[in-house]
Amino acid sequence: MVYEPNNWGRFGPDDQRGTLNLLTPAAVLAALASAVTGQVLSLAMPIRGATSSAAPATIPHLRGRPLPQHFMSVDGGDYAAGTRPIGAGLRMADDAVVITPHGTTTHMDALCHMWAGEELYNGHPAARVRSYGATRCGIEHAGGVVARGILFDVPRHLGLDHLPADFRVPGELLAEICDDVRPGDAVVIRTGWPLTWDRSPQEYWSGQPGLSAGAGRWLAARDVSVVASDNAAIGGLNARQLADEGLEDDLHLILLWRHGVHLAEMLWLEELGEACAGRTGRDFVFVAAPLRIEGGTGSPINPLAIL
Amino acid sequence: MVYEPNNWGRFGPDDQRGTLNLLTPAAVLAALASAVTGQVLSLAMPIRGATSSAAPATIPHLRGRPLPQHFMSVDGGDYAAGTRPIGAGLRMADDAVVITPHGTTTHMDALCHMWAGEELYNGHPAARVRSYGATRCGIEHAGGVVARGILFDVPRHLGLDHLPADFRVPGELLAEICDDVRPGDAVVIRTGWPLTWDRSPQEYWSGQPGLSAGAGRWLAARDVSVVASDNAAIGGLNARQLADEGLEDDLHLILLWRHGVHLAEMLWLEELGEACAGRTGRDFVFVAAPLRIEGGTGSPINPLAIL
Amino acid sequence: MVYEPNNWGRFGPDDQRGTLNLLTPAAVLAALASAVTGQVLSLAMPIRGATSSAAPATIPHLRGRPLPQHFMSVDGGDYAAGTRPIGAGLRMADDAVVITPHGTTTHMDALCHMWAGEELYNGHPAARVRSYGATRCGIEHAGGVVARGILFDVPRHLGLDHLPADFRVPGELLAEICDDVRPGDAVVIRTGWPLTWDRSPQEYWSGQPGLSAGAGRWLAARDVSVVASDNAAIGGLNARQLADEGLEDDLHLILLWRHGVHLAEMLWLEELGEACAGRTGRDFVFVAAPLRIEGGTGSPINPLAIL
Amino acid sequence: MVYEPNNWGRFGPDDQRGTLNLLTPAAVLAALASAVTGQVLSLAMPIRGATSSAAPATIPHLRGRPLPQHFMSVDGGDYAAGTRPIGAGLRMADDAVVITPHGTTTHMDALCHMWAGEELYNGHPAARVRSYGATRCGIEHAGGVVARGILFDVPRHLGLDHLPADFRVPGELLAEICDDVRPGDAVVIRTGWPLTWDRSPQEYWSGQPGLSAGAGRWLAARDVSVVASDNAAIGGLNARQLADEGLEDDLHLILLWRHGVHLAEMLWLEELGEACAGRTGRDFVFVAAPLRIEGGTGSPINPLAIL
């Protein structure tokens, strides 16, 4: 299972240099041509951290995960209470965040995030993923992502508000929505599942719709660079918030592990869905710039769609 | 000191909705035209977190600031030691980061980061910046930034490796390097100062070169959207790591507070400097997507330059 | 509402020196005489932190609070995966904890934790409690606590496993259980409520039994040094996890704010209840040593009972 | 190297139950008899956390270690700025701490903190110390410590303010200071080294005095329960802040690993030294109550001496 670098820039087994971008310059230039109006949409959920209120719990997240925390280390309240300004009168606010991205906020997975057996993607030894961070396939190798984005708005195509929890999108349905997927594209799958959160967290936690293994293979065969979705795991989840597929059919293993396709999860796609519904093409410029966390298993991101 | 929203989209005193992008669609579309080769460069320093080693201290940072910490909550070592895989054999790595962005890593400042008196930018009350976060002018209002970027490589223009610690770039020097600055541009100032870190942290901490107040006013008059630099505070710092200017001339107050210009600091500009040196134009597409931290005073970013 | 230091050592309005112990030496010496067998019991719940599992959620806590997180920064798994030992062969494990004590773990409240109006206990200005920590009445002033402990095992006295959620212990009931309460004593109130957690977190969150305002006044009148309980707030809580009393009758205000009585909450008292049931006296040596967190609003503790 | 539980309660190879106290009840009762005046001294350094100031860096610590951080999540400043009280007028302050105890603050080591080869103390497999915490020999097994404390004030015995950086205390010198060491005693070694911090952190970091291997063996032979010191590593450190001894002579391996003796480091012993200098005996009641962090490699503590 050794992949050669391909025409959009995927790194090979001996290539562990930090890439500057996931795609080649030519692919980037082609991607930029997808912008028509210049409207920019954020595809991220807010990071609502607080420690003396239930604020973080009001954002869709997997049950039991440590939610983002946000602390102000100096703020306007301090000055109201008498803190002296700096120097001639300068005042400042400063803060800190504690983030565990998987399952709690919009993020991109590093290639070291999941595997089976003793080897990561492309044969890199899993034993190099240690407490100090991953020295193979960490998120710093993703570079930036500037790619042509394609929205697959599955519920809208089916006339639904959102997919039901047990829906697994077949590859045929993806093909029906758009068969013009090219190597290096960033494929964005809308399930609409985050809409259930406002009805009740319990409904959100009752399971999640996602891609079928067949859809994963269909995408891998088209050599996409990124698969992004508004669900938590690209594939679906059962009521215990676990993937049900066997090793052969697990979506993370198919895409991330076997084919080196980066995954982005927990996006917010409602405005993008609306915007793409009212236009001819469904492609746009997809930009994601994961933080350069050395050895990180992922990074919170604020993905942008330039329409 | 009340600003009207301008033609690149700056928000007015009564506008606290989350913007989707700092610039208007037309400005974004114009900016994309600056891409020529499609080469993408990351302008971020790595985030090197670790808690049992001195790793974080090897990245340029302001002395005494709490450095990024990175923890693996499950990793390949655990499996090597006998941890059972999930389900049929799936293995995963998971992690968390603790980040205080100002002074420690590449980041963008929110408009609530600095002020004088009782009011933030555009008259928003500073008392709304509290321990739960800023309910005015937080980083989530910056949206994404897709703008035309212009590099001012000051040391290269002067034939130096880097500017000396006490150098304050005059406005005239900026004008000499490039006078074609347009409203909404993202201006990127290279000082080269991070190069001193490898010689010694003590040299890095001995002070920092930066913009003069005159240069700040020159940029504000041109109505730029973002000023970014590889130094820690846009303006210069003395050996105590403080800005020396009075309130009237402080760079954060001129740009961020009086004119609503977002600031990005501690960028890594060495590759960009090299790349721009060998090409005719010095403009490119500048993209930054701060995390949507509600009420945050800033966000770590991985800014991209698309050449 | 200005208190004079009393015979067990309570600090007065002008006394902000770090105390070395909450009680006077004579009171400590008298307290040590309560030890009969030398058996030592921990009165703390475990701190079960983890970030890739639901472990922390298995310990009683108030709903929505940020649970303790525990990270290993180097561990045995790393060596199993090939990390080289230090020097000649030394191996080490290192870790970090993130703790928000109130509502999540056994802890002691500082005198700055709650107040009404503009003043803390003994007239100290509340405006001195800022983002850098409290410069008045922080937990570092509690010193150590070595006191005579008295267990009030209310459910056992009533023949119950635990008190019901809406039970508010009247002062008369305390008097009936033990009327020999002396100045400086550490009074420990068992409600048994943590036993409900194992049946279901939902039951634990349905409300909490606690002291009535009358019981609070009864204890304050006896000039105790510490009131500790296995519930989360000394007083009771309703289903929204809030105290229902008005300002006059709020237990934190009666004890902590008006009388400078330190409070310890979320203790584990099952073994102590058993042990005291089978012995003549119900007094013991109570020891608590809050961490010297400067300006802290409280500290996690591991209180000890020496029988 | 399998130890049998001894008469002060050390746990054997098959005993992984949480102990309630490190010592047996009889030993505790005997220890309490050492109290003469009832004066209680804290032996902890303050935890000075803050993230917008250099406060934490003003406390002695090993260079490069992540310092404690302390965040207020709601404080008096917020109310000064207009935050509404809870309910009828209740105000509260809440906070969080991030602590990496080793090398940064007064703490106790768990038996899983250091080892050589594949086994922890008493043959427990080192592979059970993983990212979720240690399931063998974690700090929660230390229980509380109530023991007879003996102060060895080495610099005072030698007529010095503090020991020099390269001083390694020989066993003979301990014997000369006090030969009445009994099984289960908590031995407290004063080096005076923290006094150098106020002169300069650089002097503090230039090395550290500590016990010699011979002193370690002398203490192990006397079957003490705890060795505590005001230095950072019980043994000495060189200018690179590492122990210089080989595996056979390493103090952590001699005491913690081979003999199951708990270590407490970075204590503050100046007041205790003064107090013991002016009294006949040098024994006292030593109490330490490590937080019950499940699987922790140590815990911050506030050790108490009851004189």
**d(Cα C54, Cα A62) in Å, to the nearest integer?**
11
Helix, coil or strand: residue C116: strand
Distance (Å) from the alpha carbon of A100 to chain D's nearest alpha carbon: 15
**d(Cα B185, Cα B178) in Å, to the nearest integer?**
12
Question: With contacts defined as CB-CB under 8 Å, which chain C residues touch A53?
Answer: 64
Question: With contacts defined as CB-CB under 8 Å, which chain B residues touch D100?
Answer: 51
Can you give the pLDDT at residue B10?
60
Q: Which residue(s) pair with A187 in the sheet?
A: A150, A227
Between vectors from CA B30 to CA B25 and to CA B35, what angle results, nearest 5°?
Answer: 125
**d(Cα B28, Cα B44) in Å, to the nearest integer?**
22
B73/C77 Cβ within 8 A = no
**d(Cα A273, Cα D296) in Å, to the nearest integer?**
47
* pLDDT band of C13, cuts 50, 70, 90: low
Q: What mean pLDDT, rounded, does chain D reach?
A: 92
**d(Cα B284, Cα B35) in Å, to the nearest integer?**
6
In degrees rounded to 5, what are phi and psi of residue D214? -60, -40
**d(Cα A301, Cα B289) in Å, to the nearest integer?**
8
Between vectors from CA C256 to CA C251 and to CA C260, what angle results, nearest 5°?
Answer: 140
Q: Which residue has the tokens 């960028």?
A: B267
CA B84, distance to chain mean position in Å, is 43
On the question of pLDDT at A90 being above 60, the answer is yes
Whether residue A181 contacts residue A286, with contact meaning beta carbons closer than 8 Å, is answered with no
Whether residue A154 contacts residue A177, with contact meaning beta carbons closer than 8 Å, is answered with yes
* pLDDT band of D18, cuts 50, 70, 90: very low
Domains of chain B plus CATH, in order, are 18-46+101-306 (3.50.30.50), 55-98 (no CATH)
Q: What's the average model confidence in pLDDT over B62-67?
A: 94
How far is the CA of D222 from the CAs of D179, D182, D185, in angstroms?
Answer: 10, 6, 9
Which of D73, D75, D131 should we substitute to test contact with B (largest number of B Cβ atoms within 10 Å)? D131
Whether residue C65 contacts residue A67, with contact meaning beta carbons closer than 8 Å, is answered with no
Burial classification of residue A157, based on how many CB atoms lie within 10 Å of its CB (0-12 exposed, 13-18 middle, 19 or more buried): middle
Between vectors from CA A75 to CA B110 and to CA B48, what angle results, nearest 5°?
Answer: 60
For the segment D113-168, what is each residue's pLDDT rounded down to a tens digit? 999 999 999 899 999 999 999 999 999 998 899 999 999 999 999 999 999 999 99
Nearest beta carbon to residue C131 from set D72, D90, D250: D72
Which of D39, D121, D292, D307 should we substitute to test contact with C (largest number of C Cβ atoms within 10 Å)? D292
- Where helices occur in D117-242 by DSSP H, the ranges are 154-158, 171-177, 195-199, 201-204, 213-221
A98/C73 Cβ within 8 A = no
Can you give the pLDDT at residue C15?
56
**d(Cα B175, Cα B78) in Å, to the nearest integer?**
57
B127/D82 Cβ within 8 A = yes
How far is the CA of C81 from the CAs of A125, A131, B49, B80, C92, in angstroms?
Answer: 10, 10, 20, 5, 14
Whether residue D262 contacts residue D22, with contact meaning beta carbons closer than 8 Å, is answered with yes
Closest by Cα among D283, D39, D147, D31 to C23: D39
Whether residue D70 contacts residue D97, with contact meaning beta carbons closer than 8 Å, is answered with yes
Q: What percent of chain C lies above the pLDDT cut of 70?
A: 93
For A233-245, give the DSSP string.
SSB-B-TTS---S
Between vectors from CA A219 to CA A215 and to CA A220, what angle results, nearest 5°?
Answer: 115
In degrees rounded to 5, what are phi and psi of residue D237? -125, 150
**d(Cα B226, Cα D53) in Å, to the nearest integer?**
27
Q: Which residue(s) pair with B134 in the sheet?
A: B129
Can you give the pLDDT at residue B243?
94
Nearest beta carbon to residue D131 from set B53, B57, B73: B73
A54/C100 Cβ within 8 A = no
Going D287 to D291 to D294 to D297, the CA torsion angle's sign is negative
On the question of pLDDT at A245 being above 60, the answer is yes
Q: Which residue(s) pair with D189 in the sheet?
A: D152, D229
Q: What's the average model confidence in pLDDT over A193-200?
A: 97
For the segment C173-220, what is each residue's pLDDT rounded down to a tens digit? 999 999 999 999 999 999 999 999 999 999 999 999 999 999 999 999
Question: With contacts defined as CB-CB under 8 Å, which chain C residues touch D32?
Answer: 32, 35, 38, 285, 306
- Assigned token pair, C261: 């009585």
Helix (H) or strand (E) holding C145: strand C145-153
Question: From C50, which residue of chain B is nearest by alpha-carbon distance?
Answer: B73
For the segment B186-210, what is each residue's pLDDT rounded down to a tens digit? 999 999 999 999 999 999 999 999 9
Q: What mean pLDDT, rounded, does chain A reach?
A: 92
For D279-299, give the DSSP string.
SS--EEEEEE----BTT-SEE
Whether residue B27 contacts residue B184, with contact meaning beta carbons closer than 8 Å, is answered with yes
Whether residue B59 contacts residue B46, with contact meaning beta carbons closer than 8 Å, is answered with yes
Question: With contacts defined as CB-CB under 8 Å, which chain A residues touch B128?
Answer: 76
CA C15, distance to chain mean position in Å, is 23
Residues of D with CB under 8 A from a CB of A: 50-52, 69, 71-83, 92, 94, 96, 98, 131
Nearest beta carbon to residue C306 from set D28, D38, D129: D28
Choose between A252 and C22: higher pLDDT.
A252
Minimum mean pLDDT range among A4-13, A81-90, C86-95, D94-103: A4-13
On the question of pLDDT at B22 being above 80, the answer is no
How large is the C-alpha radius of gyration of chain C?
A: 20
- Centre a 10 Å sphere on the Cβ of residue B244 and count the other Cβ atoms it contains: 15
Residues of C with CB under 8 A from a CB of A: 51, 53-54, 56-57, 63-64, 66-67, 69, 72-75, 77-78, 81-83, 98, 100, 127-132
Q: Which subunits sit against C, judged by 3+ Cβ pairs under 8 A?
A: A, B, D
For the segment C45-77, what is each residue's pLDDT rounded down to a tens digit? 999 998 788 889 999 999 999 999 999 999 999
For the segment D24-59, what is each residue's pLDDT rounded down to a tens digit? 889 999 999 999 999 999 999 999 998 788 889 999
Helix (H) or strand (E) holding B31: helix B25-32
D77/A78 Cβ within 8 A = yes
- Assigned token pair, A222: 């088209």
Minimum mean pLDDT range among A5-19, A81-95, C27-41: A5-19
For the segment C103-130, what is each residue's pLDDT rounded down to a tens digit? 999 999 999 999 999 999 989 999 999 9
For the segment A103-121, what is each residue's pLDDT rounded down to a tens digit? 999 999 999 999 999 999 9
Can you give the pLDDT at residue A50?
81
How far is the CA of A145 from the CAs of A142, A149, D163, in angstroms?
Answer: 8, 10, 58
Question: From D74, which residue of chain A is nearest by alpha-carbon distance?
Answer: A52
**d(Cα D251, Cα D215) in Å, to the nearest integer?**
9
Q: Which residue has the tokens 């303790």?
A: C68
Helix, coil or strand: residue A17: coil
Closest by Cα among D248, D181, D173, D177 to D211: D173
**d(Cα C186, Cα C304) in Å, to the nearest integer?**
12
- CB contact burial C192-224 (16+ within 10 A = b; e otherwise): bbbbbbeeeeeebbbbbbbbbbbbbbbbbebbb
**d(Cα A292, Cα A299) in Å, to the nearest integer?**
8
Helix, coil or strand: residue D271: helix
In degrees rounded to 5, what are phi and psi of residue C173? -70, -40
Whether residue A94 contacts residue B100, with contact meaning beta carbons closer than 8 Å, is answered with yes
* pLDDT band of A88, cuts 50, 70, 90: confident
On the question of pLDDT at C1 being above 90, the answer is no
For the segment C130-171, what is each residue's pLDDT rounded down to a tens digit? 999 999 999 999 889 999 999 999 999 999 999 999 999 999
On the question of pLDDT at D87 being above 90, the answer is no
Residues of A with CB under 8 A from a CB of D: 50-52, 69, 71-83, 92, 94, 96, 98, 131
Distance (Å) from the alpha carbon of D88 to chain A's nearest alpha carbon: 18
Nearest beta carbon to residue D50 from set A73, A75, A98: A73
Nearest beta carbon to residue B25 from set A18, A37, A131: A37
Q: What's the average model confidence in pLDDT over A18-47?
A: 88
**d(Cα D170, Cα D157) in Å, to the nearest integer?**
13
Q: Which subunits sit against D, judged by 3+ Cβ pairs under 8 A?
A: A, B, C
Whether residue C293 contacts residue C282, with contact meaning beta carbons closer than 8 Å, is answered with no
Q: Which residue(s) pair with B150 in the sheet?
A: B187, B283
**d(Cα A73, Cα A94) in Å, to the nearest integer?**
5
Can you give the pLDDT at residue B1?
35
Amino acid letter, residue A3: Y
**d(Cα D274, Cα D301) in Å, to the nearest integer?**
22
For the segment A265-286, what is each residue's pLDDT rounded down to a tens digit? 999 999 999 999 977 667 999 9
Can you give the pLDDT at residue D1?
36
Residues of D with CB under 8 A from a CB of B: 51, 53-54, 56-57, 63-64, 66-67, 69, 72-75, 77-78, 81-83, 98, 100, 127-132
- Centre a 10 Å sphere on the Cβ of residue A280 and count the other Cβ atoms it contains: 6
- Assigned token pair, B263: 């600031």
ipTM: 0.95
Burial classification of residue B248, based on how many CB atoms lie within 10 Å of its CB (0-12 exposed, 13-18 middle, 19 or more buried): exposed
* For chain A, the helix, strand and coil percentages under 3-state DSSP, each to the nearest 5: 25, 25, 50
Can you give the pLDDT at residue B284?
97
**d(Cα C286, Cα C187) in Å, to the nearest integer?**
9
Closest by Cα among C261, C226, C257 to C1: C257
